[in-house]
């Protein structure tokens, strides 16, 4: 866990009290979570100082158009994902995931919107969840109607690559893994069992793509049903999440942000706590659940 969590100071009692009061004052609380919530489960993020992908390596996540138009990019993506997926799927919910699920059951969380694709909220027991950026757990052909779960797809790729092995050089976000680039040439890109296309893609919103409007509207609707917004573990650098902070501010809904380091929306927050998510939620659980 520690290798994925950036350096941080201990939370002050005054910070805890302010955020606790914010949550307990909500009639209906919407929670928006990001990668900083899952770093404590050992899943690295992109932007954290010192430990995020952008600080540790020159590799950048695949872009949507690159994946859709370049067969070699798809080979590279699936080779790396094939090696990284077993580690990714082995991760388990941490304290923050578990407490948020408890808060849902006790009606302290009305709805949860996550920018993460790891399904750890559902593994922890949350059911009122919108996966803003999709999930790695489903793979769909972009040419036909073929859909499968990611674990079955892993077995299928193994059948196509019985002799393929690669050591992991670096574990990166979202089931990706850095491996020897020469080995990628030996990887057989999986083809759709129904139509034969190699345009098989996880149901994830890649960088450069847009969240479908129906999902965005659903999140706006949930925000409008709630009276407060809590952000946990997100720097809000991408517009897909930041837009909901703008809307909360426009409609005069109080905002609280819990995140290690600064965020794009600090100027909008009524309560701002720079601390580890697990530290806050563990204390909140002890005192309120």
* Active site residues per annotation: 133
Q: Do residues 207 and 64 lie in contact, with contact meaning Cβ atoms separated by under 8 Å? A: yes
């Amino acid at each position: 866990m520690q290798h994925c969590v950036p350096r941080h100071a201990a939370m002050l009692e005054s910070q805890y009290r302010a955020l606790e009061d914010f949550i307990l004052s909500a009639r209906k609380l919407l929670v928006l979570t990001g990668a900083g919530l899952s770093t404590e489960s050992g899943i690295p993020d992109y932007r954290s100082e010192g430990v995020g992908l952008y600080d540790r390596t020159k590799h950048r996540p695949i872009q949507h158009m690159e994946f859709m138009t370049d067969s070699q990019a798809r080979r590279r993506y699936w080779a790396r994902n094939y090696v990284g997926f077993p580690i990714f799927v082995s991760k388990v919910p941490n304290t923050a995931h578990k407490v948020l699920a408890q808060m849902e059951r006790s009606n302290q969380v009305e709805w949860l919107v996550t920018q993460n694709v790891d399904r750890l909220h559902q593994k922890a027991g949350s059911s009122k969840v919108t996966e803003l950026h999709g999930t790695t757990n489903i793979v769909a052909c972009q040419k036909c109607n073929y859909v499968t779960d990611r674990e079955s797809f892993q077995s299928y790729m193994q059948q196509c690559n019985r002799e393929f092995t690669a050591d992991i050089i670096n574990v990166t976000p979202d089931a990706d893994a850095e491996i020897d680039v020469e080995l990628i040439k030996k990887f057989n890109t999986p083809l759709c069992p129904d139509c034969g296309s190699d345009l098989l893609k996880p149901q994830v919103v890649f960088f450069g793509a847009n969240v479908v409007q129906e999902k965005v509207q659903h999140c706006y609707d949930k925000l409008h049903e709630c009276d407060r917004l809590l952000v946990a573990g997100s720097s809000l650098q991408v517009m897909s999440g930041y837009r909901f902070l703008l809307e909360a501010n426009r409609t005069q809904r109080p905002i609280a942000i819990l995140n290690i380091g600064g965020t794009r929306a600090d100027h909008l927050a009524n309560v701002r706590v720079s601390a580890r998510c697990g530290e806050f939620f563990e204390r909140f659980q002890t005192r309120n659940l």
